[in-house]
Amino acid sequence: MPKRSVVDAGVEGKRVFVRVDFNVPMKAGVIGDDTRIRASLPTVRHLLDRGARVVLASHLGRPRGTTVEDLRLAPVAARLSALLGKDVPALAEVVGPRVEAAVAALPRGEALLLENLRFEPGEERNDPALAERLAGLAELYVNDAFGAAHRAHASTTGIAAHLPAYAGLLMQRELEALGTLVHQPARPFAAVLGGAKVSDKLGVIGGLLDQVDLLLIGGGMANTFLLAQGLEIGTSLAERERIEDAQRLLDDAGARGVTLVLPTDVVIAPSLEAAAGTAVPACAVPAEAAIFDIGPETTRLFASHLASAETIFWNGPMGVFERPAFAAGTRAVAEAVAARNAFTVVGGGDSIAAIEQSRLADRISHISTGGGASLEFLEGKELPGVAALLDANGPTVA
């Protein structure tokens, strides 16, 4: 169901609570990747340019209801200020008298950032009292945090019970792009899935088998499929308790006429600390070695399959991308996806990092900030944070 856009809202002079997703990688106050902050800029600028008084709110990490100094949002506010070219102060609290006073004093066309929402124990349990206090800070609600839309939290669903709730511009782009994958993909439609665990993606693989023509599987999760084919994988990461699930998915792919491609060769090493790996056939992994990347033959195979795709969805690395010795497979997939003049959607931290590091972002149709939300959307699940927003064809809201 299409949702009412922030563009449809009368915001001039109004206090607008904007749920953003500033859950960025940060260490010792240094932001490692500001993609999610930059993705929020169109919505924030739209509101500021129209004279709204903008209250921004996000989570960062998993403090689980306690204050964690390393997870304060002040560095995020500083980066946002630099990107906007105007000061966005960071408050030291989420709710309370000082927050209420700061919001009341906020001029038109200015913004502030609340402290990490997950410092409040009521956020993740969708506490009605916290939702009401958050709603009391504003007259309108905008959700631009697609990455948190699969969570029923106080700032994603609870607050929407008290305020007119609109989709931000990023939220709209995410819903439109992922909706295209689900409802009207150009064919052939290829999906590339990686990452460590089959269990993390069982549901989405099942859902994609009803959508795609081609499914390429790499990363640690491919090891479980190799086991299901009767191959030995040495000391490699695998979920042996999921072998039957992997076999079922292989059978389902065949029954649906989906081409499911697994690595034909892999890069192995005695351990992650190895300076370099060795490529061997997937059927010849020694007992004392582990798989850490797809091999060069597999990268060529994957690229040849992707060369004819008209729609591509990629989520998850092909190997231990953080280690230079085992990053080649992920980089090669990034290049193959970007090379296609097709509708391409990339999601997942390492996949996005590979695209960004290779300077290929401008050749991707849509880079999804969603992570788990993207996968649940493709699986066909209802996302609570989306369901809470006003329907586009619903009654007019003042």
Note the pLDDT tens digit of each residue in 257-296: 999 999 999 999 999 999 999 999 999 999 999 999 999 9
Name the nearest CA neighbour of 385 among 93, 165, 202, 216. 165
The pLDDT score that the predictor gives to residue 357 is: 84
Q: Specify whether 3 is catalytic.
A: no
The two beta strands, 15-19 and 343-347, are: unpaired
Mean pLDDT of 340-348: 93
Show contacts of 377-383: CB within 8 Å, 24+ apart. Answer: 377/150, 377/178, 377/182, 378/178, 378/181, 378/182, 378/204, 378/207, 378/208, 378/211, 378/313, 379/203, 379/204, 379/206, 379/207, 380/182, 380/207, 381/150, 381/203, 383/149, 383/150
My answer on whether 45 and 194 are in the same domain is no
The pLDDT score that the predictor gives to residue 323 is: 93
* 351 is a domain residue: yes
pLDDT tops 90 at residue 254 = yes
* Strand locations in 286-389 (E): 290-294, 311-315, 343-347, 366-368
- Percent of the chain beyond pLDDT 70? 98
My answer on whether 218 and 303 are in the same domain is yes
Task: Give me Rg for the CA atoms of the chain.
Answer: 22
* 395 is a domain residue: no
Name the nearest CA neighbour of 176 among 389, 2, 381. 2
Given the structure tokens 């497979």, which residue do they identify? 329
My answer on whether 121 and 207 are in the same domain is no
Mean pLDDT of 201-222: 93
pLDDT tops 60 at residue 398 = no
My answer on whether 110 and 141 are in the same domain is yes
Q: What is the DSSP letter of 117?
A: G
Using CA atoms, how far apart are residues 129 and 139, in angstroms rounded to an integer? 17
Mean pLDDT of 339-358: 89
My answer on whether 192 and 166 are in the same domain is no
Mean pLDDT of 203-212: 90
Query: Which residue in 36, 50, 72, 79 is the catalytic one?
Result: 36
Mean pLDDT of 90-110: 98
Using CA atoms, how far apart are residues 136 and 95, in angstroms rounded to an integer? 10
How many whole angstroms from its chain centre is CA 119?
22
* Strand locations in the chain (E): 15-19, 26-27, 30-31, 53-57, 110-113, 140-143, 165-167, 189-193, 214-217, 259-261, 265-269, 278-281, 290-294, 311-315, 343-347, 366-368
* 180 is a domain residue: no
Residue 319 half-sphere exposure toward CB, CA atoms < 13 A: 31
The pLDDT score that the predictor gives to residue 396 is: 59
Q: Specify whether 32 is catalytic.
A: no
Q: What are phi and psi of 212, to 5 degrees?
A: -95, 165
- Percent of the chain beyond pLDDT 90? 85
My answer on whether 56 and 79 are in the same domain is yes
How many separate domains does the chain show? 2
My answer on whether 189 and 315 are in the same domain is yes
pLDDT tops 60 at residue 397 = no
Mean pLDDT of 129-149: 97
Reported as a pLDDT band with limits 50, 70 and 90, residue 369 is confident
* 110 is a domain residue: yes
Q: Specify whether 372 is catalytic.
A: yes
* 322 is a domain residue: yes
* 390 is a domain residue: no
Quick: pLDDT tens for 31-51. Answer: 988 989 999 999 999 999 999
Q: What is the DSSP letter of 12?
A: T
Given the structure tokens 């002079």, which residue do they identify? 13
Neighbours of 187 (CB within 10 A): 11
Domain boundary among 172, 194, 213: 172
The pLDDT score that the predictor gives to residue 351 is: 86
Give me the domain span that covers residue 137: 6-172
Reported as a pLDDT band with limits 50, 70 and 90, residue 356 is confident
The amino acid that residue 145 corresponds to is A
The pLDDT score that the predictor gives to residue 204 is: 87
Going by C-beta distance under 8 Å and a sequence separation of 6 or more, which residues neighbour residue 253?
Answer: 209, 215, 259, 260
My answer on whether 166 and 218 are in the same domain is no
Indicate the range of 44-48, 185-189, 380-384 predicted with least confidence.
Answer: 380-384
The amino acid that residue 2 corresponds to is P
**Cis bond before residue 188 (omega within 30° of 0):** yes
My answer on whether 292 and 338 are in the same domain is yes
Quick: pLDDT tens for 50-80. Answer: 999 999 999 999 999 999 999 999 999 999 9
- CATH assignment of the domain containing 54: 3.40.50.1260
Using CA atoms, how far apart are residues 216 and 68, in angstroms rounded to an integer? 40
Query: Which residue in 349, 370, 371, 385 is the catalytic one?
Result: 349
The pLDDT score that the predictor gives to residue 200 is: 81
My answer on whether 132 and 225 are in the same domain is no
My answer on whether 275 and 160 are in the same domain is no
Query: Which residue in 14, 45, 108, 197 is the catalytic one?
Result: 197
The pLDDT score that the predictor gives to residue 334 is: 94
Using CA atoms, how far apart are residues 40 and 142, in angstroms rounded to an integer? 12
Query: Which residue in 61, 109, 136, 372 is the catalytic one?
Result: 372
* 179 is a domain residue: no
My answer on whether 125 and 243 are in the same domain is no
Copy the structure tokens of residue 83. Answer: 């990107």
* 42 is a domain residue: yes
Q: How far apart are the first and last CA of the chain?
A: 21
Q: What are phi and psi of 89, to 5 degrees?
A: -70, 150
Name the nearest CA neighbour of 334 among 311, 318, 310. 318
